[in-house]
Amino acid sequence: MALPDSIKALGEQIDEGGEVAPAPELFEAYDVFAAELAQIFTQPWLAVDHASRLVADGDYVRADVGARSVVVVRESEDKIHALRNTCLHAGYRVCEAEAGNAEHLYCVYHGWSYALDGLLTDPLLRPQMTDRSRFRLPRYPLRIDRGLILVDLSQVAPEAPPAGPIELGALPDLGGRAVARRQSYKTTANWKRMRQFLWEQPGLVFGDGCDAVIELGPLSFVALRTGDAALLRLNPRFPAQCEIEVVELPSAGSAGIGDADPLGDALRDGNDAIAAAPLDRGFCEWYWRLMAPAA
Ligand code: FES
């Protein structure tokens, strides 16, 4: 994919070492967003949620990144699949619910059904499709590690490609924890400005700082504070819209942040300022490192 001129111009500014001044198209243009989807949003790994989402057979959780959608579904304890959530019939999302439990996946648009491993089982009104073994929702590499559901959106195939390495560093095992709060926030900021804002102050999920941060790919991290943990995932939806998902995982006996919502308060008070904030040089250099291979 050829990079849009506005991205290449930013790269030239960085390479020349001069002033960095991103063009307005970098925050508004759909071709920029599409290039970012290919070069950044789909890079491994994305921390989708906590493993407690998948305790029973049939449990599933959906995660979206731009126009890309994945549904992680538990067929059995040792068979958990990350399926491309795109119907083989006409491309709509098979799972519209954000999470749930089902015996099979049913696309409401025209009634096609899939088994929990993605195999097409009932192509309604297409009885001529007798050999359905060749039709299945493609799969992404998946890991359940230290209590988190991790998906690699950079590879997809009929059989899940082997999962590559992942660096979890000092992340404690969060598997036995209960989720104290799961919240999503809608914002009208471009994802780059929101990422810069959140990654500069990851302790905002606790309100008063954190002890450590473990980054999981370009769009998710876990913040740690005195034993408590919070998973944050950025979900760019459109050039001028992104969502934030937070899963709070306090340690045993900790009350976590209780009823407080420091991140929500900061987003409500600061949305306009965040949506207009300039990108600093450090962010632009990080961005260009990821975009440059496509230049
Ligand atoms: S798009 Fe799913 S059945 Fe038509």
Q: What residue spans define the domains of the chain?
A: 1-44+172-295, 46-151
Residue 294 has pLDDT above 90, yes or no: no
Cβ of 53 below 6 Å from ligand 1: no
Written as six digits, the tokens of 274 are 């965040």
Cβ of 125 below 6 Å from ligand 1: no
Each residue's pLDDT tens digit, 55-89:
999 999 999 998 899 999 999 999 999 999 999 99
Closest ligand 1 atom number to CA of residue 111: 3
Q: Residue 103's pLDDT is what? A: 96
Distance 101 CA to ligand 1 centre (A): 20
Written as six digits, the tokens of 175 are 């598997």
Each residue's pLDDT tens digit, 87-122:
999 999 999 999 999 999 999 998 899 999 999 987
Q: Residue 129's pLDDT is what? A: 65
Given a contact cutoff of 8 angstroms between Cβ atoms, the answer to whether 223 and 229 are in contact is: yes
Q: Residue 42's pLDDT is what? A: 94
Given a contact cutoff of 8 angstroms between Cβ atoms, the answer to whether 181 and 151 are in contact is: no
Residue 6 has pLDDT above 90, yes or no: yes
| Cα R_g (the chain), whole angstroms | 20
Q: Residue 110's pLDDT is what? A: 87
Q: What is the mean pLDDT of residues 132-154?
A: 92
Written as six digits, the tokens of 144 are 């359940």
Which residue out of 69, 84, 85, 89 has the highest number of ligand 1 atoms within 8 Å of its CB and is therefore the one to mutate?
89
Given a contact cutoff of 8 angstroms between Cβ atoms, the answer to whether 82 and 120 are in contact is: no
Written as six digits, the tokens of 207 are 């309100």
Residue 207 has pLDDT above 70, yes or no: yes
Q: At what angle do helices 281-291 and 5-16 cross, to 10 degrees?
A: 120
Give domain 46-151's CATH architecture. Answer: 3-layer Sandwich (2.102)
Residue 200 has pLDDT above 90, yes or no: yes
Each residue's pLDDT tens digit, 246-293:
999 999 989 888 889 999 999 999 988 998 999 999 999 999 999 998
Q: Residue 128's pLDDT is what? A: 62
Given a contact cutoff of 8 angstroms between Cβ atoms, the answer to whether 82 and 141 are in contact is: yes
- The DSSP bridge pattern shows strands 148-151 and 181-187 to be unpaired
Cβ of 238 below 6 Å from ligand 1: no
Each residue's pLDDT tens digit, 11-51:
999 999 888 999 999 999 999 999 999 999 999 999 999 99
Q: Residue 2's pLDDT is what? A: 85
Nearest to 102 by CA among 78, 87, 118: 118
Q: Residue 130's pLDDT is what? A: 64
Closest ligand 1 atom number to CA of residue 90: 1
Cβ of 114 below 6 Å from ligand 1: no
Each residue's pLDDT tens digit, 150-177:
999 999 999 999 999 999 998 999 999 9
Q: Which protein residue has the closest C-alpha to ligand 1 atom 4? A: 110
Q: Residue 131's pLDDT is what? A: 66
Distance 84 CA to ligand 1 centre (A): 14
Q: What is the domain class of 1-44+172-295 according to CATH?
A: alpha beta
